[in-house]
Amino acid sequence: MILLSVARFVNAELLSGFPVVVELAVAWGDMDALAHVNNAVYFRYIESGRMAYFTRLDMLEEMRRTGIGPILHSASCRFRFPLAYPDTISVGTRISDVGEDRFTMETRIVSHTHNRVAAEAQSVIVMLDYGANRKVPLSPALRAGIQQIEGARG
């Protein structure tokens, strides 16, 4: 997995407004019997983008220290066209909405071979105190980190 500040191989407009971009290879094993990437695999690509964003926030280190961290509340994906091997994709991720105890992440998957958007997704992430098994408000540090990352995109 390679973190990119700007997609090098795709039209930059396709990932405009996505401050965290990960480049991934489409593997032969990602395809199903119909010779295109299986729909469940897209959620793995989305997860890779989400984890790259969390890494930028240093969220997992914070979770190790406090026991408070993210949990996936819901996810949806709109498939625009089928990916297939061989290809490389860029997975752009941004946070579009921040609430008291949750935030919404948007993801865009772009095919390098076709230079077009293959899928778009939304995920709602809730902050959870894993010890008490209850949701908690976003910390001021997390809010500041999100603002810093999202502010970088203008």
Q: What is the pLDDT along the chain (154 residues), one digit of tens a residue?
A: 444 444 455 678 999 999 999 999 999 999 999 999 999 999 999 999 999 999 999 999 999 999 999 999 999 999 999 999 999 999 999 999 999 999 999 999 999 999 999 999 999 999 999 999 999 999 999 999 999 999 965 4
Q: What is this structure's pTM?
A: 0.91
Q: Which amino acid is at 67?
A: G
Render the chain in DSSP notation, one character per residue: -EEESS-SSS-GGGGTT-SEEEEEEEPGGGB-TTSSB-HHHHHHHHHHHHHHHHHHHTHHHHHHHHSEEEEEEEEEEEE-S---SSEEEEEEEEEEEE-SSEEEEEEEEEETTTTEEEEEEEEEEEEEETTTTEE-PPPHHHHHHHHHHHHTT-
Domain holding 6, by residue range, is 2-151
- pLDDT on residue 33: 94
36-63 pLDDT, tens digit per residue, is 999 999 999 999 999 999 999 999 999 9
The total number of structural domains that make up the chain = 1
- What is the residue-averaged pLDDT of the chain? 93
Does residue 26 contact residue 7 with C-beta atoms inside 8 Å? no
Q: Cis (ω within 30 of 0) for the bond into 70?
A: no
* CATH at 135: 3.10.129.10
Chain-centre distance for alpha carbon 66: 23
- The closest of 125, 18, 21, 124 to 63, measured between CA atoms, is 125
Report the percent of the chain where pLDDT is more than 90.
90
